[in-house]
Amino acid sequence: MKRIGFITSGGDCQSLNATMRGVAKTLYNNIKDVEIYGILEGYKGLIYGNYKLLKPKDFSGILTLGGTIIGTSRQPFKLMTVPDENGLDKIEAMKDTYKKLKLDCLVILGGNGTHKTANLLSKEGLNVVTCPKTIDNDIWGTDITFGFQSAVDIATNALDCIHTTAASHGRVFIVEIMGHKVGWMTLHAGIAGGADVILLPEIPYDLKKVVSAIKKRTKEGKRFSIVAVAEGAISKEDAALSKKEYKAKYPVGESQPVAYRLGAEITKKTGQEVRVTVPGHTQRGGSPDAYDRFISTRLGAAAARLILEEKYGYMVGFSGNDIVPVPLEEVAGKLKGIPKDCQIVKEAKAMGICFGD
């Protein structure tokens, strides 16, 4: 008998269900006697013993289903070693649930914070295998994460739809795309959606250069401009501030999102009408696209193979077209941002796309 626990942690995205399906179908097909438990609402369920036994039928018909059938929650890593309001030791509580269920392995699907906790549990002696989930594509150790391409498709569609109304009215449109710390989504969607300006967290922008790019288009007889901006994009001026100075300038909960601040500045400098569109959580929702279903199924099957081989303490990640096991201790705490010498950025600049630098 093999007993496996599934956890989906952090922000939801497309293909969580598809990935669990890949793991489950591989295990059911290769182990005569296996039980799979869904740990409900992420690490919260592991802490408080909230789970349910899943049956093979639960994994039927979920390949195209967005979200997660076992729920999720955000449990900040920095609070994992802090007792809850009742004094409960969260780490010991998670270990107790694992032992109570007599689990042979935890399969954990999540992003950067999730992998920090997964690595912590692995070091505490639990058998752990993880799959890289995030629309941000910012997990170290894998070329691609599931959920990313589906979110890019949605952001690209938003840019496509904005093009027609921008052209009709002759306006500047700013589309704010998810991505606090990295800009992979904005970069891919911006290029695919024909944005004229792309602003990323990794490349602080000079407002003068953004304005110059928009004015240049106007002089060339182009009636509109599309700006794709990551929600974590930052000006060169603000990037030079200390964390304390930045927080003082933009108090949490009081400051406007970057797209609205940028829009007001562009209007002031150009006199052009500016409209802002924020697709928001629609980028996380809906059905996974064909590519995400494909890679999720592969990642799930690869995670199951590690369990069959009793090879724990790894994340399954893509290196080229191959799936490779990556030690959790190498993944945890690392962020895969857009490098300074990124070829994609160089190609986009060669086409005339402005990055504000």
Q: Which of 291, 283, 5 is nearest to 130 (CA)?
A: 5
Q: Which residues, 6+ apart, have CB-to-CB distance to 64 below 8 Å?
A: 18, 287, 288, 293
* Residues annotated as catalytic (active site), given as ranges: 136
Terminal CA-CA length for the chain: 58
How wide is the angle at C-alpha 10 spanned by C-alphas 242 and 277, nearest 5°?
65
On whether the CB atoms of residues 280 and 231 are closer than 8 A, the answer is no
CB hemisphere CA count around 141 (13 angstroms): 22
Measured distance CA(177)–CA(197) in Å, rounded: 13
- Please report, for residues 117, 241, 271, the alpha-carbon distance to residue 110 in angstroms, rounded to integers and kept in the order given: 10, 32, 44
Exposed e or buried b per residue across 268-300, where buried means at least 16 C-beta atoms within 10 angstroms of its C-beta: eebebebebbbbeeebbbbbbbebbbebbbbbb
Helix (H) or strand (E) holding 323: strand 322-327
Helix (H) or strand (E) holding 172: strand 172-177
- Please report, for residues 73, 122, 173, 183, 193, the alpha-carbon distance to residue 94 in angstroms, rounded to integers and kept in the order given: 15, 12, 47, 34, 44
Q: Which of 325, 292, 9, 7 is nearest to 146 (CA)?
A: 292
